[in-house]
Amino acid sequence: MRVNHTFEPFYNKDSEILILGSMPSKKSRKLNFYYMHPQNRFWCILESVFNESIGDTIESKKEFLTKHKIALWDTIDSCDILGSSDSSIKNVKPNNINKILKNSNIKYIYTTGKKAYQLYNKYILPKTKKEAILLYSPSPANCAIPFNKMVENYQVINNRKN
């Protein structure tokens, strides 16, 4: 099934950290924001990394991201995908992240998962010339990695920020 990214990147002129996924899950597309599947560990990981509560609303998530100068988007604008499975992704049209880079203060780029990292390196890195750092995928499909290892892996975001 052909799927289009249905919502805008989240960033502002002060954003210093860009976190890129591959394509939002069906649940995230339905709710119009990032990492909204209830079993996705992204928000819980960030709560642990920054040692603060984020809240369950999209507005509280946006406030947290703004406070910590974090931008969110995805590597893919549209693709063929089965459900929310990264392994099924084909016929990719990448996002042009230069609009974020030109209108913010991005210093570091991270990708959540191997697929996003692979797609970033293939389609986006040649244009931006900015290396990305691979983070574990917080997806429920990546349940083999214990939560404490996830937090340890994502700690690089807070360490670089300070």
27 pLDDT above the threshold of 90: no
- Average pLDDT of the chain to the nearest whole number: 92
Query: Which range of residues forms the domain containing residue 121?
Result: 2-161
Q: How many domains does the chain have?
A: 1
Q: Which of 32, 40, 142, 153 is catalytic?
A: 40
For 35-135, strand residue ranges (E) read 70-74, 76-80, 90-94, 108-112, 132-135
In angstroms, the CA 4 to CA 156 distance is 31
> Which of 9, 24, 29 has the alpha carbon at shortest distance from 106?
9
3 pLDDT above the threshold of 80: yes
Range with the poorest average pLDDT among 49-53, 72-76, 106-110, 155-159: 155-159
Helix (H, G, I), strand (E, B) or coil at 130: coil
Q: How confident is the model at residue 33 (pLDDT cuts 50, 70, 90)?
A: very high
Instruction: Tell me the CATH number at 100.
Output: 3.40.470.10
Measured CA angle at 60 (ends 31, 62), to 5 deg: 75
Strands 70-74 and 76-80: unpaired
Tell me what the mean pLDDT of segment 73-99 comes to.
87
Q: Are 10 and 65 in contact (CB under 8 A)?
A: yes
Instruction: For the chain, report the end-to-end CA distance as a whole number of angstroms.
Output: 42
Q: Are 102 and 41 in contact (CB under 8 A)?
A: no
Query: Cβ of 88: how many Cβ atoms within 10 Å?
Result: 12
161 pLDDT above the threshold of 90: no
State the angle between helix axes of 42-50 and 58-67 in degrees (0 to 180), rounded to the nearest 10: 40
Tokens for 63, please give them. 């406030």
Q: Are 22 and 84 in contact (CB under 8 A)?
A: no
Q: Phi, psi (5° rounding) for residue 132?
A: -110, 155
162 pLDDT above the threshold of 60: no
77 pLDDT above the threshold of 60: yes
Active site residue 40: yes
Q: What is the pLDDT of residue 157?
A: 95
Enter the pTM of the model: 0.93
Q: What is the pLDDT of residue 82?
A: 82
